[in-house]
Amino acid sequence: MANFKSDISGIDFPANERVSAKTLRKSLFSMIQNEHPDFNEKNYISLSELNDYRQKYIEYYLQGETGILTEMEETVLNNMRKHTTLSDKMDESDEGPALTLGQRLADKIASFGGSWRFIIMFGVFIFIWICINIFIMVAKPFDPYPFILLNLILSCLAALQAPVIMMSQNRQEQKDRQRSKKDYMINLKSELEIRMLHEKIDHLIMHQQQELIEIQQMQIDMMNDIMKEIKK
């Protein structure tokens, strides 16, 4: 297979990777000219080099939008360079590090304390408590009306239950923030890949148009030759 030499690197590449500078988008053409001032529309570049400049263009685009690349944007760009996906890695890291005993206990308490099972059981407990002190132990109730001991138990339970539930909610909020970051990274990667896809499609259309123009020119030349032969 014949090779060609890239006009920006001087390296030999397969002929099927040759890309004419005429078919490049203006933004990419300007970027290449900034690094290689002698590059013009008559030159050629390899497809792999063109993909590298597309990656650079995306990086410059992100820097222009935000001023500086964040860690998430760097991760997205690295995955695009390596042609790897983000979603499968996100699924693997969703659980995060192993939970401590306190975190597992807080989750179980919050889950049980916010269920109908807890409400029904505690309602039954209060009802039995009141019945014992009013109807069964009428002479000497251990907690006579207005049930001061019961109020103390309820106050202590609420005082302990509230921070435990807040601990569980804080950890849930942290997980939600992590999911939001992952969703942002996936959406950003999708947007950038769509931009690259549009650029590639535009490049293919321009390349095909150039080939059609050359074919039409050849057909016109053939028709002119035929007309000359007929006139003779």
Provide the pLDDT for residue 125: 92
0.75 surpassed by pTM: no
Q: Which phi and psi (to 5°) does residue 114 adopt?
A: -105, 25
HSE of 82, CA atoms in CB hemisphere, 13 A: 9
Provide the pLDDT for residue 208: 65
- In DSSP terms, 19 is beta-bridged to 45
pLDDT digits (tens, 9 = 90+) for 131-164: 988 888 877 888 888 888 989 998 998 888 888 8
The distance from CA 66 to its chain's CA centroid, rounded to whole angstroms, is 17
- In DSSP terms, 4 is beta-bridged to 13
